[in-house]
Amino acid sequence: MRLLITGGAGFIGSHMAENFVNKGWEVVVLDNFLTGKRENLSHISGKLKIVEGDIRNASIVNEVMEGCDAVIHLAALASVPRII
């Protein structure tokens, strides 16, 4: 099974990625690293694909979704001023 996790370098996303990697899933993480941290994925970085990009970029999203059986969407900005 192939899984895409948006916001996968955040606290929750990185734990989800680790869980699914340990279950034998092929995991792709899409994160722009504004708030997510590469260190959160460092212990499993060789076991998944990490793509630096923004969910607002349709071509990147289409590319990383190819062949995915499921998506866990966790990408978000928790700051109202940044969103505006």
Domains and CATH numbers, the chain: 2-83 (3.40.50.720)
3-state SS class at 49:
strand
Q: How confident is the model at residue 83 (pLDDT cuts 50, 70, 90)?
A: low
Token match 């990490």: residue?
50
Q: How confident is the model at residue 84 (pLDDT cuts 50, 70, 90)?
A: low
Could you give the CA distance from residue 65 to residue 5 in angstroms, rounded to a whole number? Answer: 10
User: How many CB atoms are closer than 10 A to CB 45?
Assistant: 14
Residue-wise pLDDT for 59-77, tens only, equals: 999 999 999 999 999 998 8
Instruction: Write the single-letter amino acid at 78.
Output: A
Residue-wise pLDDT for 13-25, tens only, equals: 999 999 999 999 9
